[in-house]
Amino acid sequence: MNHLRRLSLLACAIGLLSTAAAPVMAQGTYPDKAVKVLVPLPAGGGVDMITRLVGQKLAAVTGQPFVVDNRGGASGRIGLPVVAKAPADGYTLLTTSASFLTTNQHIFKEMPYDAQTDFAPITKLANQSIVLVVRDRNKFATAGAVVAASKEKPTSVNYASSGDGSPQHLAALLFEMGAKVRMTHVPYKGGALAINDLLGGSVDVLFAPLPEALPHVKAGKLVALGIMSEQRSPLIPDVPTMREAGIPNVEFQTWIGILAPARTPRPIVEQLNRQIHAILASEEVRNQLRDAGMDVAATTPEQFAKTIAEESLMHAKLVKAAGLQPQ
């Protein structure tokens, strides 16, 4: 009798444990197939690089592939709507630079997505400094030389960017305002394409995220004239800050973050946040990003949402001060 009673109690206990574990097991099944990570820029730039790095690490952790899907063009207005309209199940994610979430709504009359309601922020990934680079040092030996040429003949100096409202574009606007000059904007579909045309001599200057410019600077193909940060970068210690170059109040930094479609289940957002934070905390990844010119900037989903909202207000003021009209 006692034996039967013990078996009955054991069965009840197992049943209770199974019931309690069921939700945990259900959450733990994500992902059970490939996850697409959309990058709204062509391959080869900083956003693409960090997406592939984090995606490879997530695949190793989860046992499922994280497939990068590059959808460049139209300043993010091709790629971001794809994610905004995707099923909110965690199998379509977005990695993007700041401007497509913080600036586009202020420079385009019609937007195919809402930056603050169509996405569920997961975490920021990294911050990037902006550096002014040129190909021909004989033409522009210093940042001051760019200013002098632009003042002598307004709009004669042209600069490339990865699209209207991109970090490169905003950095150039800030430079123009700080130096009181006017240059000509030449937008491209991505940072890699902009750098290629700078290397080819089709454009004069570029305000590039450090990770995109660094390999070419180290190879001697591009010359860095100034960095838009408070302090010099240890990766290019001989390059002065813009303040040191005689152009104050032009500090600018951009970031890269990862998001999901709005209404993605909170457990999936939290799982991805934890896993990505662990990846970014590893010494290997931190060193790899630092060597590429990026600073790890992991956040909570709430902190990331707050950053998007606050920077959107800041960029609205910058666009208005620069005199840009929505197009």
Integer angstrom CA distances of residue 308 from 128, 284, 320: 16, 28, 18
Confidence band of 306 (pLDDT split at 50, 70, 90): very high
pTM over 0.85: no
| Complete domains list, the chain, with CATH | 35-128+254-321 (3.40.190.150), 129-227 (3.40.190.10)
Residue 159 makes CB contacts below 8 A (sequence gap 6+) with: 168, 172, 183, 184, 185, 186, 203, 204, 205, 206, 207
**207-216 pLDDT, tens per residue?**
999 999 999 9
User: Which candidate, 92, 95, 113, places its Cα nearest to that of 104?
Assistant: 113
Please give the average per-residue pLDDT across 310-327, as a whole number: 87
| Sole residue written with tokens 């905003």 | 170
Cis peptide before 187 (omega within 30 of 0): no
**83-137 pLDDT, tens per residue?**
999 999 999 999 999 999 999 999 999 999 999 999 999 999 999 999 999 998 9
Say how far apart CA 50 and CA 126 lie, in whole Å: 9
Tell me what percent of the residues of the chain surpass a pLDDT of 90.
80
Q: What's the pLDDT score for residue 165?
A: 85
Tokens of 319: 């666009």
**126-177 pLDDT, tens per residue?**
999 999 999 989 999 999 999 999 999 999 999 999 888 888 999 999 999 9
